[in-house]
Amino acid sequence: MNRMLSLALLLAAALVPSVQAQQAHYSPTFRNPRGSELVLMYISSSTCMGNRSHGIHEAVEQAKVHLAARAQAEGRTFRAIGVALDWQPDSGLAYLREFGMFDELVVGSTFFNLGATDLIWADSTSRASIPQLILYERTVDPSNPRRIRLGRPHILDAVVGGDSIVARVASGFGTR
């Protein structure tokens, strides 16, 4: 009887999914934004030392899942953007694939690509350091088919450094 119980427990343990397998993964909705939009931007590089922080991949994924759910609950759209500051687009693309799905990717040209110029160099309060996780909101009005109107990004939260990203996501990134 003990063997039967042991076998049953072993079988049950094998069938119970691990916590990691239960973790939700972000999946883009691919719909046109209208009204208020939350945008999460992860900026880094395949050569960045901060992207080797333990838990960084999981933290970025967790932030995407949490903020997408928040946006849906608030009646907003959500967009996750991955920005790789590698010179070579191919190496940046391979690097960002390690972080799961994004709605949009910006790769190549290091700190001169659109992701860096729009949110790092254009904002005098930002830091030219990676990795970064930036959350902003903006308004989107696509009612005129000849000219989509985009409001200026309003930064809601930002964190720099791999260990800092992991800690802030665990404590509620985007809720301050």
Q: Report yes or no on 51 lying in a domain.
A: yes
Helix (H) / strand (E) element for 160: namely strand 154-160
Summarize pLDDT for 119-158 with one digit per residue, the tens: 776 665 667 788 999 999 999 998 888 898 989 999 999 9
**pLDDT value at 98 more than 90:** yes
Which pLDDT belongs to residue 30? 73
Q: Report yes or no on 24 lying in a domain.
A: no
Summarize pLDDT for 49-88 with one digit per residue, the tens: 888 899 999 999 999 999 999 999 999 999 999 999 999 9
Q: Report yes or no on 48 lying in a domain.
A: yes
Q: Report yes or no on 6 lying in a domain.
A: no
Q: Report yes or no on 108 lying in a domain.
A: yes
Summarize pLDDT for 36-57 with one digit per residue, the tens: 999 999 999 999 888 889 999 9
| Cβ proximity of 93 and 114 under 8 Å | no
Q: Report yes or no on 112 lying in a domain.
A: yes
Q: Which domain holds residue 134?
A: 31-170
* Residue-averaged pLDDT of the chain: 83
**pLDDT value at 17 more than 70:** no
Q: Report yes or no on 25 lying in a domain.
A: no
Output the domain CATH number for residue 110.
3.40.30
Share of the chain above pLDDT 70, in %: 83
User: How many domains are contained in the chain?
Assistant: 1
Task: State if pTM tops 0.85.
Answer: no
Q: Dig out the tokens for 166 from the structure.
A: 């992991």
CA triple 31-36-41, angle to 5 deg: 75
Q: Report yes or no on 2 lying in a domain.
A: no
